[in-house]
Structure 1
Amino acid sequence: MTETVAPLVIIPRAHDIGGFEVRRALPSAQKQMVGPFIFFDEMGPGEFLGGQKGVDVRPHPHIGLSTVTYLFEGAIRHRDSLGTLQDIKPGAVNWMTAGQGIVHSERTAPEVMAVPRRLAGIQSWVALPKSAEETAPGFFHHPAMAQPMAVDAGLTLRLIAGEGWGMKAPVVTSSPLFYADAILAPGASVPLPAQHEERAAYVVQGEVTVAGDSFAAGRMLVFRAGDALALTAGPKGARLLLLGGAVMDGPRYIFWNFVSSSRERIEQAKSDWEAQRFARVPGDDAEFIPLPAARA
């Protein structure tokens, strides 16, 4: 067993979108990806009065990735160019594979908008391996009750995707990974799967201790390969998102909502969106988000 060393600590960049705070941990200056996870945003928690729109993201495109929306509170209505209409609710897994290209919107449903509500959750992007970057797009919804669960000694763990802790989630992934939601009672611990090359934990609530060091909420902890380790909750308990997987087959370029191993493919996607060559979203095609004029 190797000696556990201090993790790389990523402090997310926060920005406000109309009174709703979003904190981005990946990509960061310290690390672009953890396994295939190339984008990791914590949304909220936010409170909205009756009549407030809340989430209102107009149709926009993606290529070369899968998006994963996972909510702790509230609801979001997803529509996409495949004709999908799906209300996303807490604990469910909503896995959208863009592949060669997809367009979607994320909005607050009118009946939900009418009442006071809260919204909190995580949206992440999983980069596709080069062999799957141009795969056909797809959307897969798995309700909360379909996710494997483990309950033991103060730990409640729901496996969102991939394999770990002796369980396998129903969503089909394009590369080896794990993604889990862990709720820990005060003093409870959760080990990280040893079989995955890259591993990280995002502290959503409370604080955790690793090898004698404590880390507060709003931190992503990235661990080196080979360390056998566990995270232990502080006196108020903790909630963590655990993630990682195999090292990707090379770096990725990111422009706006596009991810690819090829700069040329990014340029093609930009041209296609400007020329309106992407498919439209049935039931939500009256507006769209324009391509940013310039973005690194």
Structure 2
Amino acid sequence: MSFFPGNDPEPGDRTAADAIETLIIPRTSDIGNLEVRRALPTAKRRLVGPFIFFDRMGPAILRPSQGIDVRPHPHIGLSTVTYLFDGQIRHRDSLGTEMVIRPGDVNLMTAGRGIVHSERSPEELRKEPLPISGLQTWLALPDHLEEIDPAFANTGVAELPSMSENGVDVRVVMGTFHGAKSAVQQHAETLYVDIRLAPGKRIQIPGTAAEERAIYTLEGPVEVAGETFPADRLLAFRSGDEIIISAPEGAHFMLFGGAALPSQRYIWWNFVSSSKERIEQAKEEWRSGRFDIVPGDEEEFIPLPEG
């Protein structure tokens, strides 16, 4: 029995224009020495399930002595999810956590009422060229959990369920997919799956996988309902539809989504909330130094942006 059933398309199937609710081409920017593509939020789409922020980092090779240096900065009302394909990043936060995340691991940091963290390339690795490639996403917290205590959890790659069959490789990062369930904590219904297809292979995305579903294409073109989409595209699908994704040349992409939030979310800088007033409060708390410090990284911080 196949883990990944998928019927061949038949004449008369709906077109990609019908199957895809939103197509987003991410905007690209340079953050220090690293190119980042941001797919969420955009004017076209603010959220997919609880995902309110979606950044692709790299892939890049940082020269010796260079590195990622994201100074301490605050968050409220969200969980950050860091997931790497290559390279290493040292995370420190105001809870006293220090953790080097490696490819395939999951760093889940829940800000709740407020947390401060930094992300830097490990100093001991900066004498050599440093590869870096990965994703950072934010999950908006449900209304009743926006002010929970901050927390941090790391889940190693060996703890994540994976399936491989006939050129289809799947790792379930969060949620449940084709019967495999991740142990990573969820505050809302969340789906996050790493999928690789060998040339000519396909996979079925059930309409019941999540209320809202999208993919971000990382490598290789994918085909949906007879139309082809290149790497670095976000495709959000219509709710309830079964989707067949095929890869004529082979492909790597992330499937993500979850249940739609029942209320609106506001986002300003690193703050997410259902309340504009709560964001104004967080801005004043950071401006006046009322957030906690990051042990081991106390000398620097990112100032509150102007405007």
**3-state DSSP of counterpart to 1:9:** strand
| Runs of 4+ with >6 A deviation | none
Q: CA shift at 1:19, angstroms?
A: 3.5
| 2:276 equivalent among 263, 266, 270 | 263
How far apart in 1 are the matches of 2:281 and 2:289?
12
CA contact (8 A) 2:61 2:132 kept: yes
Tell me: CA distance 1:193–1:61, structure 2 relative to 1, closer, same or farther (3 Å): farther
Give the number of equivalent residue pairs: 292
Q: CA shift at 1:3, angstroms?
A: 4.7
Gaps of 5+ in 2: 1-12
TM-score by length of 1: 0.96
After superposition, the C-alpha distances for 1:183-242 in whole angstroms (9 at most, x for unaligned) are: 11011112224221100000000011011011000100000101111211122x100010
1:140 corresponds to 2:153: yes
| 2:234 equivalent among 214, 217, 220 | 220
CA contact (8 A) 1:3 1:227 kept: no
After superposition, the C-alpha distances for 1:18-77 in whole angstroms (9 at most, x for unaligned) are: 33210000001110000000000000011112211x210000000000000000100000
1:104 corresponds to 2:104: no
2:71 aligns with: 58
**3-state DSSP of counterpart to 2:175:** strand
Equivalent residues in 2 for 1:236-247, closer than 5 Å: 237-247=250-260
1:158 aligns with: 171
| 1:11 equivalent among 21, 25, 39 | 25
TM-score by length of 2: 0.93
How far apart in 2 are the matches of 1:251 and 1:210?
30
The residue type paired with residue 36 of structure 2 is: V
CA contact (8 A) 2:19 2:243 kept: no
Equivalent residues in 2 for 1:118-197, closer than 5 Å: 118-195=131-208, 196-197=210-211
How far apart in 1 are the matches of 2:53 and 2:128?
31
Q: Which moved more, 1:2-11 or 1:246-255?
A: 2-11
How far apart in 1 are the matches of 2:231 and 2:77?
31
| 1:116 equivalent among 129, 145, 152 | 129
How far apart in 2 are the matches of 1:19 and 1:107?
12
How far apart in 2 are the matches of 1:66 and 1:247?
16
Gaps of 5+ in 1: none
Q: CA shift at 1:116, angstroms?
A: 1.1
